[in-house]
Amino acid sequence: MENILPLLDPKIAPEKVILCYSPSHEDDANMQRDFCLNKGLEVEMLALSQKHQLGCLQERFLHLDVKPSECALNLSCGSKLMCLAAYEFLDDDIFRFCVEKDHLFPISEPGAFDYYDLDNQIKLEDYFALHGWEVQSLVRTKTVHHDELMDELFERVDDFEKAIGLLNKLANDADDDGVLNMRHRRKFNEQQLELMGKLYTANLLTYYDSNSVTFSDQEAVDFCRGFWIEDAAYLAMKQLNVQDCAISVEIRNEQGIKNEIDAAFLHENQLYLMECKTAHLAREGKGTQTLYKMDTLVDYAGLHTKGILASYRPLEDFDIRRAHDLGITIIQGTALKNFASHLNKIIEVS
């Protein structure tokens, strides 16, 4: 990321980029090259095969046909010897700098200014592309409008958590079968009936009785399958005024591997990935599966990615411990009433 951020700032906007790389980072360099080309930048590649020998590195830099007065050197990445070779090869007057997060710090002229605040131009599509993933689809808007209902569901987790589990099942079965009417084998209990009544009032159901429901349309089915918690995540992310955010993100790499991410946002060029669950994750190891999926996605998406699990139903203690071991933050149960505040705390400590 430190290589790319200055290139996207409109006040810097270089005409050409020279990417210097070692063999072990050739794949990363190629991804950065492709990204730069897609942004309309001219790119030259310089392979540094003997990265542990200063003399060989200096010799490789002699192959560059550059005018130092027209260059700037980014020393944010690469081995110490690579940076030293580049530093010594180029003219003393060249501007040298490094990047941390979204700040550019001068090295050759440290007294010129403290730092330059880079324009945050990276979007989710850019971030994933730089890590070998193509965004197939995403949603940058709230898909449903039932704020009062969502607020009450968060307020009364203890009352509705089991009823939500049944609702998930009915909605998922309806989605699988392509129908709107579903019948349960048992009569609804008091909490389930109360929940169905609230869904009916919100026009998500057109009918319900002691053991059956009729969803109003496919959007209502999706809401009841658990999409409502993704909408809650989207509202929370927008409250934080983050750099970019989306829900229902689908990505694909060159090998054809696909992944779905419930919610994602960028803040100060750091990626946060979120899984949003209303199901009972303690059953059949679903909590463990979800956590390991998140851990894999975080590894795919780069060193500075943070994982967050938002679960309507409280997790078991062993899943909470596992999440801690994996560096995944959990927001669960009634804590979701203050979704945005909890996200803000996660950002502050990152």
The CATH class of the 5-119 domain is alpha beta
Domains 5-119 and 158-224 share a fold: no
Report d(CA 324, CA 212) in Å as an integer.
40
Phi, psi of 287 (to 5 degrees): -65, -45
Separation between Cα atoms, residue 160 and residue 189, nearest integer Å: 11
Tokens 């669950």 correspond to 277
- The single-letter DSSP state of residue 226 is I
Q: 197-214, pLDDT tens digit by residue?
A: 999 999 999 999 999 999
Number of residues that make up the chain: 350
- Structural domain 158-224, CATH architecture: Orthogonal Bundle (1.10)
Please give the structure tokens belonging to residue 196.
């169905």
Q: pTM for the complete prediction?
A: 0.88
- Could you state, in order of their start, the residue ranges of all structural domains in the chain? 5-119, 137-142+228-349, 158-224
Handedness of CA 55, 59, 64, 67 (dihedral sign): positive
pLDDT tens string, the chain, 350 residues long: the values are: 788 888 988 888 898 999 999 888 898 999 999 999 999 999 999 998 876 888 888 888 888 888 777 888 888 888 888 888 888 877 666 777 777 777 888 887 767 778 888 887 789 999 999 888 999 999 998 766 788 999 999 999 999 999 999 999 999 999 999 999 999 999 999 999 999 999 999 999 999 999 999 999 999 999 999 999 999 999 999 999 899 999 999 999 888 989 999 999 999 888 999 999 988 776 656 788 889 888 888 887 665 789 999 999 988 888 999 999 999 999 999 999 999 999 999 999 87
Looking at the domain covering 137-142+228-349, what would its CATH class be? alpha beta
Core vs surface per residue 11-47: b (16+ CB within 10 A) or e = eeeeeebbbbbbeebeebbebbbebbeeeebebeeee
Answer whether 188's CB lies under 8 Å from 211's CB.
Answer: yes
| Rounded Cα gap, residues 135 and 314, in angstroms | 31
pLDDT, position 197: 96
Beta carbons within 8 Å of 309's beta carbon, 6+ residues apart: 274, 275, 277, 290, 291, 294, 315, 323, 328, 329, 330, 331, 332
Distance separating alpha carbons of residues 62 and 49, to the nearest angstrom: 14
Residue range 273-316, pLDDT digits in tens: 999 998 877 665 678 888 988 888 888 766 578 999 999 998 88
Q: Which residues of 310-345 are buried (b: 16+ CB within 10 A; e: fewer)?
A: bbbbbbeeebbebbeeeebbbbbbebbeebeebbee
